Amino acid sequence: MVLKTLDVLGPLHGYGIARRIEQISGDLLAVNQGTLYPVLLKLEQEGAIASEWGASENNRRARFYRLTKEGRRQLRVETQDWRQTTAIIARFFKAKAEDLS
Amino acid sequence: MRALRRFFTRLFNVAARQSQEERLREEIEQHVALQTDENLRAGLSPVEARRQAMLKFGGVEAMKQDYRAERGLLFIENLLGDLRNAGRSISRMPGLAAVIIASLAIGIGVNTTIFSWIQMILFEPLPAVSGAANFLLVEPRTETGGYPGASWLEYRDLRTQVPALRDVVASQMVAFNVGERGQTERTHGQLVSGNYFSALGLKPAIGRFIRPEEAERPGTEPVVVISYDYWHTRFRGVPGAVGQKLRVNERELIVIGVAPREFQGTMVPLKVELWVPATMTPALLGGARDLEDRGVRAFSLIGLLRPGATREEAQTEFSRAMAQLARDYPQASAGIGGEILPFWSAPRGPQRLLISGLAILQGVMLLLLLAVCGNTANLMLARGSTRQREMAVRVALGASRWRIVSLVLSENMLLAFLGAGLGATFAVWGTTALRVAPMIGAFPILFPARVDEFTLAFAMLLGAACGLIFSAAPALHLARLDPQDGLRSSSNTPPRSRARKVLMGVEVGLAMVVLIAAALFLQSFHSARQTDPRFQPEGVLLAAYDLSGRNPDEASEREFAARLLEGLRSLPDVEAAAIATNVPLDLHGIPARPFTVQGRVRTEEGQDRAISNKVTPGYFKVMGIPLVEGNDFAGMHDKAAPPQAIVNEEFVRRYLNAADVMGRRIQTPAGSFTIIGVARNSVYNAFGEPAQPAIYFSYRDLPADQGEIHLRTRSGNETGLASEARAVLRDLDPMLALYDVRTFPQHIERNLYLRRIPARMFAVLGPLLLGLAAVGIYAVVSYAVARRTREIGLRLAFGATSGRVVLQIIRENLGPIAWGTAIGWVLSLVISIRTIPKSPVNLSVFIGVPAMLLGVATLACWIPARRASRIDPMAALRHE
C-alpha cells in the first residue's frame, strides 16, 4: 500500500502517506498511524524507498519518502502476485457445485 | 538479496546509533504537528487538536521499540552489552581473573606449541614449498619390509611410468667436504635431479636454479645451489656470491643461485646447505657407479600428485611399474615392490620418532588443560554463587533465562579468549625456542615449526572449548535460579551444591593423572643421569669420520681404520682407542639385525633380532665393558682367524641357555661368525631399558666407510685431545674432516635433548598445576564456609569445639577430593601399564603423588576451615 501510494502521488512525507491510506480505504483502515514508521524504515532498509528532508506544504520540515527503481520493481512484482492471488480466490468464489461435476 | 541488504543496513545502524534516534524523534514531532494543524482546521481547540493527533498516532514508546528492533540487530546489541558488562565484572575481580587467564594461557600455550610441531610434521613437511600436501614419498620396498631407496636408472624409468604423479624428483643426501685441502669442513648437501627445484615450485632468492639439461649427462655441469643461510654465513649475503667458486670434495663448483630463505631441503628436519646436479655423483664421490648401476639404490624419490589423482591411483601405477622393473631387471629389482607414503609416515628420518612422542605429549597436555578448565569452573561457580542475588534481580526484572546464560557465557568467553590470546603468544615463544635446537647426532637439524593461522585457529578453538566447558556449570546453576529464592535466602542455609563437589572431584582426578604422568616422566628423565650405564663414559672423546665421499672398497676401509688407530694410539695422552659404527645412547638408536644362532630353534614366527655394532679391537677396553668370558677380537691385520663375534650376557641367557657358548656360530645376512667372547650387559638405546641381547662384530670382518672414533684419555682431560686427533686424521688424508667431536657425557646430554624439552615442561607445569588445584579447592571451601557462617556460629554457641568444626569441614570436602584422587590414580595406573608394558610400576610415584596431592588439598581445606572456626559465635549469629 505504501509503495502504491508513493507510486501514484510521488514523494510524500509520513503524515501524507498515512492520510492517503486512510482516504483510499475510506477510513476502513484506521490503524495507529505510528505503526507506519517501522514499516517505512523496513522498506527503506530494503532499498525500496529512499528518504530525505524537505519542506512540507505549510513550510514545516518533513521527511519525504520516494520510490526507488528497486521499489518500482518490487511494486510490479507484488502487484502481479496480488492479482494472481485475488484471481485464484475469485475463482474459488465463482465456482459452483455443478461446475465441478 | 533484499534480506541481506536489510541485514547490513541494520548492522551498520548498530554502530551509528545516536543520529537515527534523533531522526525518529523529529519525524514523530512533525507528524503530530501536521495532524494537529489538520484538526485545528477542522475546528478543534488547540489542546484537543493535539490530544486527538496523539491518540491517532498511537503509543509512541511501543512504536519506538518496534522501530528500534527493526532498525538494528537486537542480538548484536545485546552481545555488545554483555561484553561491556563482562569487561566490567572482570575488572572487578582482577586477582581471580589474573589466575584464570594465566592458567588458561599456560595450558593453551603449551598445547598450541605442541600442536605447531605436529602440524609441521603432518601438514607442512616441506617448508617454503606451497601445497606440500600434494607431495608424496615414492619408496621402493623390499619383501622383508626394508626401504632401500631407488637407483638413478630406476628413477628415470619411474618418471614416465606413474602418470598419476605429475613429477617425480630424486635426491640423495651426502656429506661433502667443502673447502681447501687441510681445512675442509663437513657440509650436508643433496645430489638432485634436474627437475628438483621446478617441481617443488621454488623461486631462487638470487641467481638461478639447476636446469633440467644440467642433470642429463654425467659430469657435465659443475654447478651448485646454496642455501640462504649458507649464503649469509659463507658469502656474507652479497649478490656477488653467484658466479663464485666453491671447492666441494676437491672439485670446483660454480655457485649459480641461492635457495629461498625457509627452504631446507627435502629431508626435513635435516638441514641441507648445498644442491648439486645428480649427474655430478661420479665426479664428486670418487667414481661412484650410482648413475649406471641399478643395484645402487641411493636416491630418495618424491612425487607430486597430478591434480585430481589420488594416492591410491599412484600406488596402483607405482606397483605395476615396479613389477615390470622386477621382470626387466631381475638382478637388481627382483622382489622389490613399492609404497607411496605421505610425509608423516616416512620410513626414515626423525619424523616417525617424533610424531608418536608428540601425540602422547599432546594428550597429556590436553588433560592438563582440562584440569585447568575444571579448576576455572570451580572458581567461577564459587563466584557465580555469590552473584545469585544479582542474577535473581535480573530475572525478577524480566531477563530471560537465555539472557542470564549469555551473560555468564560472555563473561567466561572473554576470559577464555584473553587466555587463548596470551597462550598463542607463549606458543610463538615456544616454537622459536625449539628452532634453536642444537645439532643432533651427525646431522644438522632445524625444526621449521612456527605459529601460523592454523595454529592460531587451534589456540582460539581451544579457548572457545575451554570457555564453554567452564561456563556450563555456573551458567546452568544461575539459569535454574528461582528469583524468589535468590532474593530471599541471601546467606542463610545454602543449597548443598552437588555440582560443586562433583566438579572438585573431577578436577582433582584430572590433576592426579597429569601429575602422575609428569612425575613418571621426570623421574625417568632424572634416573637417566643417575643410573649406571654399565660402561664408563667419563674421560672418553668421540669423533666421527666419513670416507663415503671417497667411494672406498672394503680393503681400503679396513686399511684406513687400522692406520687411523695406529696414529691415535701413538698419541701420548691416549690410553686406549677404538672405532665403532654406533655409539650407545644415540638418538637414532643402534640397529637391531636378524640372525640365527647354532643350537637354537626358534619356535615362534619371525626372526630373532639383536642389537649389532661393529667395533675394532680395543673397544671394550675404551668403553670399560669387561669381557666375562673369552678374549678381544683378533688384530685388524690378522688374516688367519675366521670371522668373529662377541655377544653379551643377555644374548647368552636368552638364546643359548649358558651352555658352552664359545665357538658357536652365528649366521647373519652378512655371513657366518664364530662366538669368541661374552661381554657384560650394558645400556644401548636408553637408560632404564630392559637388558637387550647384543652382538658385536669385528671391523676387521665387516669394515665400514664411516666410523666413530672412541678415545680414552690418560689424564681425564678428553677435550684437549680433539686437536691432536684432527692432526692424525689430516696426516692420513688432508681432504677429510673430523666432525661431530664431543665428549661421551656431552653425547649423552645432547641426545637427551628431545626428552629434555618435555621434562622442562613438566617440571614447570607440575607444581603449577598443583598450586592451581590448591587455589581451586581453597576458593570453593572458603566460599562454602562463608555461606555457612551462621550454622558454624550456632554450633560453636552450642558448645562445639573449634577443632571439631575444622575436622567436620575438612571431612566433608575431602570426600569428593578423595574420590577424584582414587579414580585418577586408577586411571593413570591403567594408562601407565598399557603404554609402558613390561616395566615395574613406579611405586614412589604412585604413592608419593597422591600423598602430596591429598596433603595439599587438606591444607587448602584447612585454612578456610580454621578461619571459620575462629569466628565469634555472637558475631556469626548477628551476621547479616
Q: Grid coordinates in use for A53?
A: 528532508
Q: Would you say residue B161 lies in a domain? A: yes
Distance, CA of B194 to CA of B532 (rounded, Å): 51
Distance, CA of B226 to CA of B187 (rounded, Å): 11
Q: Are B690 and B838 in contact (CB under 8 A)?
A: yes
Q: Would you say residue B95 lies in a domain? A: no
ipTM: 0.71
Q: Grid coordinates in use for B43?
A: 475546528
User: Are residue B377 and residue B256 in the same domain, yes or no?
Assistant: no
A60 has a chain B CB within 8 A of its CB:
yes
Identity (one letter) of the amino acid at A61?
Answer: R
A18 has a chain B CB within 8 A of its CB:
yes
Minimal C-alpha gap between B341 and chain A (Å) = 55
B6 has a chain A CB within 8 A of its CB:
yes
Minimal C-alpha gap between A35 and chain B (Å) = 6
Q: Which domain holds residue B160?
A: 149-335
- Asked if pLDDT for residue B18 goes beyond 60, the answer is no
pLDDT digits (tens, 9 = 90+) for B594-628: 888 887 777 766 678 888 899 999 999 999 999 99
Q: Is B530 helix (H, G, I), strand (E, B) or coil?
A: helix
Nearest Cα to Cα of residue B516 among B527, B505, B526, B508: B508
Q: Would you say residue B785 lies in a domain? A: yes
Pairing of strands B608-615, B694-698: parallel
Distance, CA of B777 to CA of B738 (rounded, Å): 59
- Asked if pLDDT for residue A37 goes beyond 80, the answer is no
Distance, CA of B606 to CA of B597 (rounded, Å): 14
Q: Would you say residue B136 lies in a domain? A: no
- Chain B neighbors of A37, CB-CB under 8 A: 24, 27-28, 63, 67
Helix (H) or strand (E) holding B218: none
Distance, CA of B833 to CA of B84 (rounded, Å): 50
Q: Would you say residue B633 lies in a domain? A: yes
Is A33–B35 a contact, with Cβ atoms under 8 angstroms apart?
A: yes
Distance, CA of B95 to CA of B98 (rounded, Å): 5
Distance, CA of B479 to CA of B406 (rounded, Å): 10
pLDDT digits (tens, 9 = 90+) for B262-273: 888 887 777 888
- Chain A neighbors of B58, CB-CB under 8 A: 31-35
- Chain B neighbors of A42, CB-CB under 8 A: 6, 70
- Chain A neighbors of B30, CB-CB under 8 A: 13-15, 56, 60-63
Distance, CA of B145 to CA of B495 (rounded, Å): 66
User: Are residue B292 and residue B361 in the same domain, yes or no?
Assistant: no
Residues 6+ apart with CB under 8 A from A94: none
- Chain B neighbors of A47, CB-CB under 8 A: 2, 5
Is B34–A60 a contact, with Cβ atoms under 8 angstroms apart?
A: yes
Q: Helices B554-569 and B721-732 sit at what angle, rounded to 10 degrees?
A: 140
Is A14–B6 a contact, with Cβ atoms under 8 angstroms apart?
A: no
Q: Would you say residue B124 lies in a domain? A: no
3-state secondary structure B68-119: HHHHCCHHHHHHHHHHHHHHHHHHCCHHHHHHHHHHHHHHHHHHHHHHHHHH
Q: pLDDT band for B753, please (50, 70, 90 cuts).
A: low
- Chain B neighbors of A19, CB-CB under 8 A: 38
Q: Would you say residue B346 lies in a domain? A: no
Q: Are B140 and B300 in contact (CB under 8 A)?
A: no
- Asked if pLDDT for residue B865 goes beyond 60, the answer is yes
Query: Which of A 27-46 lie inside 8 A of B, CB atoms?
Result: 31-35, 37-38, 41-42, 45-46
Pairing of strands B223-226, B206-207: unpaired
Identity (one letter) of the amino acid at B116?
Answer: S
- Roughly how many angstroms between the first and final C-alpha of chain A, as a whole number? 39
- Chain B neighbors of A31, CB-CB under 8 A: 58
- C-alpha angle A38-A43-A44 in degrees, rounded to nearest 5: 95
Look at chain B and report how many structural domains it folds into. 4
Q: pLDDT band for B492, please (50, 70, 90 cuts).
A: very low
Q: Give Cα B169 distance to the centre of its chain.
A: 29
Given B335, B369, B387, which residue is the final one in a domain?
A: B335
Helix (H) or strand (E) holding B634: none
The residue of chain A with its CA nearest to that of B5 is A46
Counting every residue written for chain A, the total comes to 101
B26 has a chain A CB within 8 A of its CB:
yes
User: Are residue B472 and residue B512 in the same domain, yes or no?
Assistant: yes
Minimal C-alpha gap between A38 and chain B (Å) = 5
Q: Would you say residue B650 lies in a domain? A: yes
- Chain B neighbors of A32, CB-CB under 8 A: 56-59, 63
Is B30–A13 a contact, with Cβ atoms under 8 angstroms apart?
A: yes
Distance, CA of A12 to CA of A10 (rounded, Å): 6
Minimal C-alpha gap between B78 and chain A (Å) = 20
Instruction: Provide the percentage of residues in chain B whose pLDDT is more than 90.
Output: 9
The residue of chain B with its CA nearest to that of A71 is B2
User: Are residue B278 and residue B166 in the same domain, yes or no?
Assistant: yes
Identity (one letter) of the amino acid at B751?
Answer: N
Give, as one character, the DSSP assignment of residue B512: H
B672 has a chain A CB within 8 A of its CB:
no
User: Are residue B762 and residue B640 in the same domain, yes or no?
Assistant: no
Q: Grid coordinates in use for B197?
A: 627445484
Give the C-alpha distances (Å, rounded to integers) separating B278 from B219, B242, B281, B536, B576.
Answer: 9, 20, 6, 43, 41
User: Are residue B371 and residue B464 in the same domain, yes or no?
Assistant: yes
| CB nearest to A14's CB, from B27, B60, B66 | B27
Q: Give Cα B490 distance to the centre of its chain.
A: 50
- Higher pLDDT pick, B651 / B33: B651
User: Are residue B626 and residue B558 in the same domain, yes or no?
Assistant: yes
**What is the predicted pLDDT for the residue at B491?**
47
B25 has a chain A CB within 8 A of its CB:
no
Given B702, B735, B768, which residue is the final one in a domain?
A: B735
Distance, CA of B577 to CA of B461 (rounded, Å): 57
B70 has a chain A CB within 8 A of its CB:
yes
Give, as one character, the DSSP assignment of residue B212: G
Domains and CATH numbers, chain A: 2-100 (1.10.10.10)
Given B735, B770, B805, which residue is the final one in a domain?
A: B735
| CB nearest to A32's CB, from B23, B33, B57 | B57
User: Are residue B481 and residue B574 in the same domain, yes or no?
Assistant: no
Is A34–B23 a contact, with Cβ atoms under 8 angstroms apart?
A: no
Give, as one character, the DSSP assignment of residue B443: B
Q: Report the mean per-residue pLDDT for chain B.
A: 81
- Asked if pLDDT for residue B841 goes beyond 90, the answer is no
Highest mean pLDDT among B214-223, B488-497, B557-566: B557-566
- Chain B neighbors of A13, CB-CB under 8 A: 30-31, 34
Distance, CA of B697 to CA of B638 (rounded, Å): 15
Pairing of strands B574-580, B706-713: antiparallel
User: Are residue B188 and residue B313 in the same domain, yes or no?
Assistant: yes
User: Are residue B526 and residue B383 in the same domain, yes or no?
Assistant: yes
* Chain A to chain B Cβ contacts (< 8 Å): 75
pLDDT digits (tens, 9 = 90+) for B415-465: 889 999 998 888 888 777 766 555 454 566 677 777 778 888 888 898 888
- Residue range B241-262: average pLDDT? 88
Q: pLDDT band for B493, please (50, 70, 90 cuts).
A: very low
